[in-house]
């Protein structure tokens, strides 16, 4: 088969051999014939060599575009699902954070109340201990005062009597004085 470029170069020569050159607007059978022949040859060449590859390229391109659109739609739907999951997670995280804060506040209040309670209990214990120590010191002081009183009384009595008492007499007198002091009102 001949090259399409060669056929196209021959066509004007064949058309000019008719002897008379018609004008461009004059319909001539030979022009119509050659036009159809050239059209058929170009159509056949295009059909044989160009349309199939062009159609395959267009179909391939269409398929790639369709696949790209499908992938984009799939990615969009996945992104929407992930976005919704992310929103749910954020909502849960906010709720968890609020709950943790509330629990922290409650725990702090409990610790504060317990600390106050322990402080009050400890203060009460210290107060009771201080009272006991004061009572003990008071008793010791009273006992000391009693002993001093007895000693002064004995000293005064021995001077009054101008005689020295025996040890046994001292003890008996001391016991009597202590008993009398215990019976006195207002003393513990």
In this predicted model, what pLDDT tens digit does every residue of 28-65 receive, in sequence order?
Answer: 777 788 889 999 999 898 888 888 888 899 999 999 99
Please answer whether residues 18 and 30 qualify as being in contact, where contact means their C-beta atoms are separated by less than 8 angstroms: yes
Containing 90, the helix (H) or strand (E) segment is helix 52-161
- pLDDT tens per residue across span 113-164: 998 998 888 889 888 998 999 988 888 888 888 777 777 777 766 666 655 5
The model's pTM: 0.37
Distance CA 127, CA 134 (A): 10
Distance CA 81, CA 79 (A): 5
Distance CA 69, CA 63 (A): 10
* Cα–Cα distances in angstroms (integers) from residue 90 to residues 75, 78, 83, 85, 108, in the given order: 22, 18, 10, 9, 26
């Amino acid at each position: 088969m001949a090259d399409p470029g060669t056929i196209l170069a021959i066509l004007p020569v064949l058309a000019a051999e008719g002897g008379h050159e018609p004008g461009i607007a004059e319909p001539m059978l030979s022009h119509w014939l050659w036009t159809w022949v050239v059209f058929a040859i170009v159509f056949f060449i295009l059909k044989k060599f160009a349309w199939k590859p062009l159609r395959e390229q267009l179909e391939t391109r269409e398929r790639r575009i369709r696949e790209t659109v499908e992938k984009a739609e799939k990615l969009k739907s996945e992104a929407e699902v992930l976005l919704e999951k992310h929103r749910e997670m954020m909502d849960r995280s906010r709720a968890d954070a609020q709950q943790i804060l509330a629990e922290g506040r409650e725990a702090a209040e409990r610790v504060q109340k317990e600390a106050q309670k322990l402080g009050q209990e400890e203060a009460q214990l210290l107060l009771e201990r201080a009272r006991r120590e004061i009572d003990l010191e008071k008793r010791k002081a009273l006992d000391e005062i009693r002993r001093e009183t007895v000693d002064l009384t004995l000293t005064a009595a021995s001077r009054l009597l101008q005689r020295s008492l025996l040890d046994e007499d001292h003890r008996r007198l001391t016991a009597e004085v202590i008993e009398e002091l215990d019976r006195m009102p207002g003393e513990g």
